[in-house]
Structure 1
């Protein structure tokens, strides 16, 4: 069966992100004997003309569209632009290929599957992980025995690697010098704002290390100036799987530059040394709150002293550190805001990207807290951007406190979009090139 897989993500804040999901589905479908073509509107500019030509040449028998982002999760610039642009892609394919069945998926879709399916009128949707469900849907259509229309929720036993489309990856490498790789799924943590457990479950399931190593070798050969981004929910998970992977990378001579989401919880200095030996050059440190009180409020299992220690040890090893922090969550007060500002300043020269309020998503425990506190408007459609602010926290007052607190800092970025251009230029030039220039390396 000929299957066209299209991304529908136009988010460029703080930078564009490679559409890994359609690559993973392309791999699973190809292994099942289907012919797959990947399409990415964001990388093409005027995508409609090229899409029309592709529809005519490829003649797909099934079209899948992935919705990754619904908005920018920034309370200071609320917009439904991203969802609107995703819907435009879906409507375009529906209009240009009216007789071809369609299926929607992706994390943004999965959180509001029934609502978006009803909104678009598309036949099928896949909620959560999609390899097994997509193959089953394609097989049923190819056999002339289509599944009942609606949202498919099937247990997923396959953790496929991605087929990296050359033209698509060339664009993202030129823009960001980042290529994503997933080594496992599932998140055992209980952060109240997070949807990873909803999308991937709590049980950690790992890919075959040999397959991951093959992906890494392939990426390094095809895009030698790229940095690998391990996009696991948390790279250094409690199972210790990541250590085995890093040791395998070293034993196979795959000391290539990488970054990933790192939690300070239980991270030791020897763990950091192993990461650095295996190529860690930048860490996206999962902090998310700035005081012990607010860390506990969002369900973190570490203290801010752990953050400071971990940050210091990473910096001492020459690792570039970025944190993301949300103010206004459960337990926040004016006093914790002031303490949080001081705490983040103490992390410099680590960078901190700071958000005001916490975006509410279906499936995250914070939704129930917000409902109990009367913070869910009766007319909320469930999809539109809605942000949580703790009782007693006024959004405008918080905004002013953050502006004042970080006005003289080059490392603390608030509002979060205020330095997007700088971040985009750094990645377009190449983070590794810039780092080597600063270190005096060729």
Structure 2
């Protein structure tokens, strides 16, 4: 079959941070890359369209899809861009109703039938890799057997047949590498200190998260049990993309890269032995690294790390179940400064129980750590599947859910909750002020400009879309 896998554009959902996202944060969509490899291995003709990389509107993306004449189109979407996947699918169905449209990703996985709109013929809930070849084979056979594939949602007359979530991949080493040759790798750039903007690739070392942060659905989507690739498998992929595409920087997308320090140490050893001369970065928790581990990582080319601070209020840290102390956070940033590793962070406002005083406590806390070179400040969004969503629906801890229009579930361009009497409009104004004060130190403003450029930085800090 002729298959086209699509990632809708997303940076225009980032409000005043859109310019930063366009310059720096265009990310190779790994999910459809894995599916492309599996489909091609099964004998299908496969194409990828990354509408973000090509700066396409939904209509433009649909026109390109139609011109390529696929038989099947698979779209992947998170909650903030689900409406964009719907827009593309509606364009396709209007112009070429014979095209089979399939939707996957976090939003449909969590909401199921609620998000299974008429523009989609099929949906896949959960991880798709284990069932994708069977799904395509069933389509080749006229749909016979679709109702026996776990994870597939379809229609039978006026009724929806929901077969639950698909099986998780038990051994990540069994997956082929993403179909990197189907991407335009020159479109994916990130800033590396001392090198400027460089082409890069993204990878996942692990899937699964044992933590219970109220704002995150990772443990729901990936499971609580950690599933890791072998370090040898990861190094083999690094070697492949370095030799094939001359990519010399890797960004690991794991929510907690160092959850298994033994795997990271072995990876570092193998990476050094392979002499690939690549740099890499990742995210983790402040209480899951020490000086020994960071030193080993730095020696193997590790150049940038980000920690989830989330809030400067110890009271709010407990409410959101972060399970990290401010002492851990200060300690780890002193270590990154000592070792010369670039350090950023993530922080949010609009948490359960939060007051305006708590927001300013976050600003003061981040300003007090000179090693933090850059920090976004997003507004907490109650994504479906998170405990935050349930708290907001129930009206607990001062939260009130004001909208279930998921196109408005934007971290940098809105807000859909009232928090202790603070409206989304007020939170947005407070976000602008907080961002300005957070970055008004010489070190933070200059490092942000180096990374994102002058115009993008000023627009973000001043809150201009």
Q: Answer whether TM exceeds 0.5 for this pair.
A: yes
For the residues of structure 2 that align with 1:206 and 1:343, how far apart are their CA atoms? 34
Return the match for 1:345 from 363, 367, 386. 367
Q: Give the structure 1 partner of residue 301 of structure 2.
A: 279
For the residues of structure 2 that align with 1:339 and 1:101, how far apart are their CA atoms? 51
Q: Give the structure 2 partner of residue 66 of structure 1.
A: 76
Q: Give the structure 2 partner of residue 93 of structure 1.
A: 92
Please list every run of at least 4 consecutive aligned residues from structure 1 whose deviation after the TM superposition is greater than 6 angstroms.
419-422
Q: Give the structure 2 partner of residue 79 of structure 1.
A: none
Paired residues in the alignment total 406
Single out whichever of 8-17 and 167-176 deviates more from structure 2.
167-176
Q: Give the structure 2 partner of residue 110 of structure 1.
A: 109
For the residues of structure 2 that align with 1:7 and 1:401, how far apart are their CA atoms? 33
Q: Determine if contact 1:110/1:128 at 8 Å carries over to the other structure.
A: yes
Q: Give the structure 1 partner of residue 440 of structure 2.
A: 408
1:282 match: secondary structure? strand
Q: Does 1:336 align with 2:358?
A: yes
Kindly tell me: are residues 48 and 341 of structure 1, through their superposed partners in 2, closer, same or farther at Cα, counting changes over 3 Å? closer
Q: Determine if contact 1:282/1:321 at 8 Å carries over to the other structure.
A: yes
CA displacement at 1:139 relative to structure 2: 2.1
TM-score, structure 2 as length reference: 0.78
Q: Give the structure 2 partner of residue 52 of structure 1.
A: 66
Alignment RMSD: 3.1
For the residues of structure 1 that align with 2:216 and 2:421, how far apart are their CA atoms? 23
For the residues of structure 2 that align with 1:66 and 1:217, how far apart are their CA atoms? 28
Kindly tell me: are residues 408 and 4 of structure 1, through their superposed partners in 2, closer, same or farther at Cα, counting changes over 3 Å? closer
For the residues of structure 1 that align with 2:111 and 2:449, how far apart are their CA atoms? 31
Q: Does 1:27 align with 2:37?
A: yes
TM-score, structure 1 as length reference: 0.81
Single out whichever of 211-220 and 325-334 deviates more from structure 2.
325-334
Gaps (5+ residues) in structure 1? 72-81, 414-418, 429-442
CA displacement at 1:317 relative to structure 2: 1.4
For the residues of structure 2 that align with 1:424 and 1:407, how far apart are their CA atoms? 14
Q: Determine if contact 2:248/2:278 at 8 Å carries over to the other structure.
A: no
For the residues of structure 1 that align with 2:298 and 2:391, how far apart are their CA atoms? 40
Return the match for 2:322 from 272, 288, 300. 300
For the residues of structure 2 that align with 1:349 and 1:7, how far apart are their CA atoms? 35
Q: Give the structure 2 partner of residue 289 of structure 1.
A: 311
CA displacement at 1:356 relative to structure 2: 5.2
Kindly tell me: are residues 101 and 50 of structure 1, through their superposed partners in 2, closer, same or farther at Cα, counting changes over 3 Å? closer
For the residues of structure 2 that align with 1:296 and 1:400, how far apart are their CA atoms? 26
For the residues of structure 2 that align with 1:97 and 1:18, how far apart are their CA atoms? 28
Q: Does 1:380 align with 2:390?
A: no
Q: Determine if contact 2:199/2:249 at 8 Å carries over to the other structure.
A: yes
